[in-house]
A and B are shown apart, each in its own frame.
Chain A
Amino acid sequence: DAGVTQSPTHLIKTRGQQVTLRCSPKSGHDTVSWYQQALGQGPQFIFQYYEEEERQRGNFPDRFSGHQFPNYSSELNVNALLLGDSALYLCASSLARGASTDTQYFGPGTRLTVL
């Protein structure tokens, strides 16, 4: 039973560039949430995807966008990168059960460095 996987593990970009991060959820899960974790801080919610749609969003600008595919995997895209976007990007998967939700399991993260 595969856990949550993310790629790439590390990425270095320069300001103004665009980046795409990928996530495959735990087997049997249908919901993917993305979090940004700056150094020394707790994860901050970016957005969540369910049934291929963004259904909730945190306080992040439109430069952050995403997508979910029919196999439940997901991508996070960040445009016009800023130095402040340097962080660990975590993907978490869970199983939506109507109004209630299940435990979130995190992937290993992608460390993004913007120079």
Chain B
Amino acid sequence: GENVEQHPSTLSVQEGDSAVIKCTYSDSASNYFPWYKQELGKRPQLIIDIRSNVGEKKDQRIAVTLNKTAKHFSLHITETQPEDSAVYFCAAISSGGYNKLIFGAGTRLAVHP
């Protein structure tokens, strides 16, 4: 069935370091991959997304790369700050259409000052 695996489950970095979170997906027809940040007790917020017609997208300190052949995509955060601490979820859209998102299990990122 449809599945998205996310690693690592927890990530601890020092302020200023880079953080990388990796996801793999099973449905080769998936064509949209968003990343959400969820702070404790708050809603998931979209931070960046990528569609299958591009291999990389960047927005200030955040970038996402996509390898369709290998069916994996990654989130890169550079120059991490304490406010980046949160749970990050990757997701892939189901090829069944209609915007059904399949989420990874999440990565808890802790940025230490």
Interface secondary structure of A, over-half rule: strand
User: Within the assembled complex, what's the spacing in Å between the Cα atoms of A96 and B98?
Assistant: 8
User: Within the assembled complex, what's the spacing in Å between the Cα atoms of A101 and B18?
Assistant: 32
A residues sitting closer than 8 Å to B (CB atoms) are 4, 31, 33, 35, 40-45, 48, 50, 55-56, 58, 90, 92, 94, 96, 99, 101-109
> Which residue on chain A has the smallest CB distance to residue B93?
A101
What are some 5 contacts across the A-B interface (CB < 8 A)?
A43-B101, A101-B98, A102-B99, A104-B34, A107-B43
> Which residue on chain B has the smallest CB distance to residue A40?
B106
**A contact residues around B36 at 8 Å (CB):** 106
Minimum C-beta distance from A105 to chain B (A): 7
Would B43 and A45 count as touching, CB distance under 8 A? no
> Which residue on chain B has the smallest CB distance to residue A3?
B43
- Which of A42, A43, A50, A103 gathers the greatest number of chain B CB atoms within 10 Å? A42
Q: Count residues on chain B whose CB falls below 8 Å from chain A CBs.
A: 26
Would B106 and A48 count as touching, CB distance under 8 A? no
Minimum C-beta distance from A101 to chain B (A): 4
User: Within the assembled complex, what's the spacing in Å between the Cα atoms of A44 and B49?
Assistant: 19
> Which residue on chain B has the smallest CB distance to residue A44?
B103
Contact A109 to B43, CB < 8 A, known contacts A33-B100, A42-B103:
yes
User: Within the assembled complex, what's the spacing in Å between the Cα atoms of A95 and B32?
Assistant: 15
Would A56 and B96 count as touching, CB distance under 8 A? yes
Would A108 and B42 count as touching, CB distance under 8 A? yes
Minimum C-beta distance from A8 to chain B (A): 15
